[in-house]
């Protein structure tokens, strides 16, 4: 069992932010310390919405108490998701550095929750820049969606090859691009770029009202990595898990995380097949299964 600090939003109703990631990682066998950057009644999109960001000094005090109790020295992984202000990004970097000083093997996965298509940025530009310039450069793994990748890499993305080039431009050990072009209009790809290796899985494109798929996928990826899976197996298992959730979530306002847990939390997980992507050949180091 690993111990994970999860820094993200939290809602009292629904499955986004920590309200998705904490349950996923706990169900996958890990001990989770969920730190809420913002507390909300629910995600935006419902009739009523209440809540506000949690002050940085309050979060800092919570983490100092956790440190004094000896819990942070036991952290094996950190996941950051929704960051509401540049100051929250700086706070996260500060504590990630302290955790790594205590445990140099601790993994940090940055899910850069700054926007999506077709809306674009849904945080301030200053906050998005802080995620890009403060958090991404210290991450072991980054999990942007297609819009976020283009924004972070400062380049347009229209093909699998351009997605891979943009992922490489982030210069991080591992980048997983979600909702990436697959080369076919009825499907999307998850593309993992790790050094000179590229792995991809392809899933059906579905019309989905529920939010939080990126949060859940990041939690699946980190969980499988902490469970000892190699990169390609982590991608395959995480894709199969999120596909099981999404399939049951069609027509619903929230992800079917609870109903599908027996599938994605199985001791012997289903592995989605690796896929070849059009426009890539053997010289591009793309692996197919």
Structure tokens at 132: 């890009």
Q: How do the pLDDT tens digits run along the chain, 289 residues long?
A: 999 999 999 999 999 999 999 999 999 999 999 999 999 999 999 999 999 999 999 999 999 999 999 999 899 999 999 999 999 999 999 999 999 999 999 999 999 999 998 889 999 999 999 999 999 999 999 999 999 999 999 999 999 999 999 999 999 999 999 999 998 989 999 999 998 899 999 999 988 889 999 999 999 999 999 999 999 999 999 999 999 999 999 999 999 999 999 999 998 999 999 999 987 754 443 333 2
Q: Under a CB-based contact definition with an 8 Å cutoff, are residues 178 and 145 in contact?
A: yes
DSSP letters for 123-151: S-HHHHHHIIIIIGGG-SEE--BHHHHHH
Q: Is 191 helix (H, G, I), strand (E, B) or coil?
A: strand
Q: Is 85 helix (H, G, I), strand (E, B) or coil?
A: coil
Fold classification of 2-275 is 3.40.1190
Quote the pTM value: 0.94
Q: Is 105 exposed, middle or buried (0-12, 13-18, 19+ CB in 10 A)?
A: exposed
CA distance 180 to 148: 11
Q: Is 140 exposed, middle or buried (0-12, 13-18, 19+ CB in 10 A)?
A: middle
Delimit the domains of the chain by residue range.
2-275
Strands 197-204 vs 286-287: parallel, antiparallel or unpaired:
parallel
């Amino acid at each position: 069992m690993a111990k994970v600090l999860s820094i993200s939003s939290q809602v009292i109703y629904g499955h986004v932010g920590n309200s998705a990631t904490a349950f996923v990682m706990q169900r996958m066998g890990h001990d989770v310390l969920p730190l809420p950057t913002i507390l909300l009644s629910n995600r935006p999109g419902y009739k009523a919405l209440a809540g506000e960001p949690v002050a940085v000094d309050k979060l800092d005090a919570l983490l100092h108490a956790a440190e004094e109790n000896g819990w942070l020295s036991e952290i094996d992984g950190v996941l950051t998701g929704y960051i509401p202000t540049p100051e929250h990004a700086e706070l996260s970097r500060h504590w990630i550095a302290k955790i790594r000083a205590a445990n140099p093997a601790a993994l940090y996965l940055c899910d850069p929750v700054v926007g999506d298509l077709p809306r674009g940025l849904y945080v301030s530009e200053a906050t998005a820049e802080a995620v890009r310039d403060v958090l991404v450069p210290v991450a072991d793994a980054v999990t942007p969606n297609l819009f976020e990748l283009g924004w972070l890499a400062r380049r347009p993305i229209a093909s699998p090859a351009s997605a891979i080039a943009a992922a490489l431009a982030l210069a991080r050990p591992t980048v997983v691009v979600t909702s990436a072009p697959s080369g076919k209009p009825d499907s999307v790809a998850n593309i993992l770029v790790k050094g000179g290796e590229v792995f991809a899985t392809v899933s059906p494109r579905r019309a989905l009202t529920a939010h939080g798929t990126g949060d859940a996928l990041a939690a699946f990826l980190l969980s499988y990595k902490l469970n000892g899976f190699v990169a390609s197996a982590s991608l395959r298992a995480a894709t199969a898990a999120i596909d099981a959730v999404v399939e049951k979530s069609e027509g619903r306002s929230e992800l079917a995380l609870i109903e599908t847990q027996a599938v994605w939390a199985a001791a012997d997980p289903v592995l989605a097949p690796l896929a070849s992507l059009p426009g890539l050949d053997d010289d591009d180091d793309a692996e197919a299964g």
